Each structure stands twice: as C-alpha cells, then as structure tokens.
C-alpha cells in the first residue's frame, strides 16, 4: 500500500510518500515547500497571512496527491502550530480550507518520534539524538537502547534568526546574542556521548556543506569532531567565501543555516561528542511507524 505523510514545520512543509509492505517501508517520493511559518508569528499568534501560507502549501500537496491517486494521508504539525497562542483557530481554518485533518504533536512526542525514525536506520545503543527545526530543537538521551530523557526546547534555526539577526547572515553581535540564548534556554544533563545522531533540514544542510568543504563521498553520513570544528571556523567568519558556499549548496537556508549550525555545535560540544551521524529518517518516519503500529500494522525495519 501507499501512504503519504505531510509534516507542517516552522520552516518547511514536507510531503513524503511511502510504499509499505510486510518488510517495512520505502520512500518513493518527496517534496517540500519552504513556507517559513515561524516568520508569520506576531505577538505569539500565527497571522492570517501565515495560516493562508500553510493552507496554500497543503492545497498544493493535495493536487499532487490527487494526481497520483493517493488516498491515505496523515498530516501533523510540530512547533509551527504547537508554539502559538491561536493553535485551535489556526487548525480549524486549515482543516476547513484544505480538507485535511491535522494532528499537533507535543515537543516530547516530536523528540521521541524523531529518535524512533532515526533508529530505523542506525542501531546504536548509547548516545544523544538531536532534531533541529525552524522553531524548536528536540533532544533525546539514550543508553542501552532505551530512552533516558527526551526534551524539547523553543529555539530553532528560523526563530533564532528572527530574534537575533539583523542582516542576511549573523555578524559577531548576532552570534553573541544567539550564544547567550543557547546557554540560557538549553539546559541538559552534562554527560559525554561519543555519537550525536542528527536529523532535520539544518543537519542535512551541514552534511551537504561538509561534503563540499572536505570532499567527502556522496554516501557519507558521518562528520568528525575535527571537521565540525573546522566547518564552524569557516562558516562563522561570515566572509564572502562562506556565503558563496551556502548559496551554492543550500540557497534556501542562506539566512537560517548558521543559526541552526550554532545550535548543533552547541549540543555537539555540550555532549563532548566525537562524531555527528546524520540519519535520512526522522520524525515523519517515526510518526508513520507509530500510526501503522496503532493500526496493527507492524513496521520492523526499512527496506534497503
């Protein structure tokens, strides 16, 4: 069977289409719209323009799904609708204008589902997991294959950009403001974990940049501590060479990649990690597995 999942995020709205069988699931189609919903939050509420932007993205995906004759669709939202004061009004308007039923998941759910999705690929017993989004970042600490702690913090790549950055990319003053926010708002148990598993657009963007800078192979999904440090030195200097690389590699994230990378670097250093492992699966796959297991369809692992 085929199942679509739409993720209404704070920076992007993403559609993923899966083929599901007894062996697991396989991605057969992906599409994203950089809606930037966090940029439409005014005085804590998502503006009418922002709600319309979300509706436009969903209706565009609806046309795609109708063309592909896909009937099974799950739609969920994360911090984009969770961290606003008019959540119920926004959901009612979105559901009325698009015909989709929208589930808003909590920060803790997002953390656990992201971890679950990543673990469809990697079987690591001890470490830390991070999902850096547009308006929130989720962290899971796990030992012996069991979750010890899951947390969600209200800082993301786009929200930090809006709060701290005056130009397209952050200067020294903006970076200092971001550092102060991270130190004050991300409070974690101080432990060392060799592996930091990362998902989300920022993390994937950092991997793309690393492949360019360090000439890594296309199938590489690991970045060492030395490479993280060198990449931060390169990006944080903010000169034309660094900006040109972002524009060539991740142009849609020109304004958010450095704030997002600062979150990643802060967590990487906090856990004294030795490598970043980037998973191609995350919260959408975790959500899919949870839904199918709820419907008595077990998904033990993914297909290769």
Task: Please give the full DSSP string across 75-137, using - where no structure is assigned.
Answer: EEE-HHHHTSTTHHHHHHHHHHHH---EEEPPHHHHHHHHHHHHTTT---SSEEEEEE-SS-E
Q: Please give the average per-residue pLDDT across 216-225, as a whole number.
A: 97
Within 13 Å, how many C-alpha atoms sit on residue 257's CB side?
26
Q: With a threshold of 0.95, does the pTM exceed it?
A: no
In terms of DSSP bridges, do strands 195-199 and 275-278 run parallel, antiparallel, or are they unpaired?
parallel
User: What average pLDDT does this structure show over 200-215?
Assistant: 96
pLDDT category of residue 292 using cuts at 50, 70 and 90: confident
Mean pLDDT (whole number) for 240-262: 96
In the numeric block, the tokens 């899951």 are attached to: 150
Mean of pLDDT over the chain = 94
DSSP assignment letter at 302: -
Q: How far apart are CA 41 and CA 239, in angstroms?
A: 30
The DSSP letter of residue 36 is: -
Answer yes or no: are the C-beta atoms of 76 and 104 closer than 8 Å. yes
State the pLDDT at residue 298: 57
CA atoms of 27 and 15, how far apart (whole Å): 11
Determine contact, residues 35/53, Cβ cutoff 8 Å.
yes
- Would the pLDDT of 7 be above 90? yes
Higher-pLDDT residue of 121 and 68 is 68
- pLDDT of 191 > 90? The answer is no
Task: Specify the pLDDT at position 123.
Answer: 80
Q: Give all domains of the chain, ordered by start, each with its CATH number.
A: 2-106+283-294 (3.30.420.40), 122-278 (3.30.420.150)
- The mean pLDDT value for 126-155 works out to 95
CA–CA dist 100, 55 (Å, integer): 10
pLDDT tens-digit map of 31-49: 999 999 999 999 999 999 9
- pLDDT at position 23 is 81
Report how far residue 132's alpha carbon sits from residue 182's, in angstroms, rounded to the nearest whole number. Answer: 13
Q: Which of 156, 200, 204 minimizes the C-alpha distance to 182?
A: 156
pLDDT at 121: 85
Over residues 55-94, the pLDDT tens digits come to 999 999 999 999 999 999 999 999 999 999 999 999 999 9
Q: In this structure, are residues 165 and 255 in contact, taking their beta carbons and an 8 Å threshold?
A: yes
Sequence-distant (6+) residues with CB within 8 A of 296 are none
Confidence of residue 135 (pLDDT cuts 50, 70, 90): very high
What local confidence, expressed as pLDDT, does residue 297 receive?
A: 58
Q: Which ranges of the chain would DSSP assign to H, the alpha helix? A: 48-67, 79-82, 87-98, 107-118, 157-164, 172-185, 201-214, 225-236, 240-249, 257-270, 283-294
- How many Cβ atoms from other residues are within 10 Å of residue 272's Cβ? 13
Residue 255 pLDDT? 95
- Model confidence at 167: pLDDT above 60: yes
Question: Who's near 102: CB < 8 A, 6+ residues apart?
Answer: 8, 75, 76, 77, 81, 91, 94, 95
Decide if pLDDT at 304 tops 70: no
């Amino acid at each position: 069977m085929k199942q679509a999942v739409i993720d209404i995020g704070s920076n992007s709205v993403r559609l993923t289409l899966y083929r599901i069988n007894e062996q697991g699931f396989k991605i057969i189609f992906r599409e994203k719209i950089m809606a930037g919903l966090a940029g439409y939050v005014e005085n804590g509420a998502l503006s009418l323009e922002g709600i319309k932007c979300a509706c436009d993205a969903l209706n565009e995906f609806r046309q795609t799904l109708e063309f592909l004759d896909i009937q099974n669709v799950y739609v969920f939202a994360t911090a984009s609708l969770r961290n606003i004061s008019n959540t119920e009004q926004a959901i009612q308007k979105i559901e009325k204008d698009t015909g989709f039923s929208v589930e808003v998941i909590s920060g803790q759910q997002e953390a656990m589902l992201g971890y679950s999705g990543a673990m469809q690929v990697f079987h690591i017993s001890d470490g830390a997991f991070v999902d850096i989004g547009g308006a929130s970042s989720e962290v899971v600490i796990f030992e012996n294959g069991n979750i010890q702690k899951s947390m969600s913090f209200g800082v993301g790549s786009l929200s930090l950009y809006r709060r701290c950055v005056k130009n397209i990319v952050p200067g020294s003053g903006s970076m200092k403001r971001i550092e102060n926010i991270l130190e004050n708002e991300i409070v974690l148990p101080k432990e060392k974990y060799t592996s930091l598993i990362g998902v989300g657009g920022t993390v994937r963007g950092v991997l793309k940049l690393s492949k360019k800078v360090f000439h890594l192979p296309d199938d590489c999904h690991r970045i060492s501590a030395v490479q993280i440090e060198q990449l931060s030195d390169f990006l944080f200097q903010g000169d034309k060479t660094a900006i040109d690389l972002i524009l060539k590699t991740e142009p849609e994230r020109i304004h958010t990649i450095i704030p997002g990378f600062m979150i990643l670097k802060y967590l990487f250093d906090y856990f004294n990690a030795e490598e970043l492992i980037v998973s191609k699966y995350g919260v959408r796959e975790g959500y899919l597995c949870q839904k199918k297991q709820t419907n008595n369809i077990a998904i033990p692992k993914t297909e290769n």
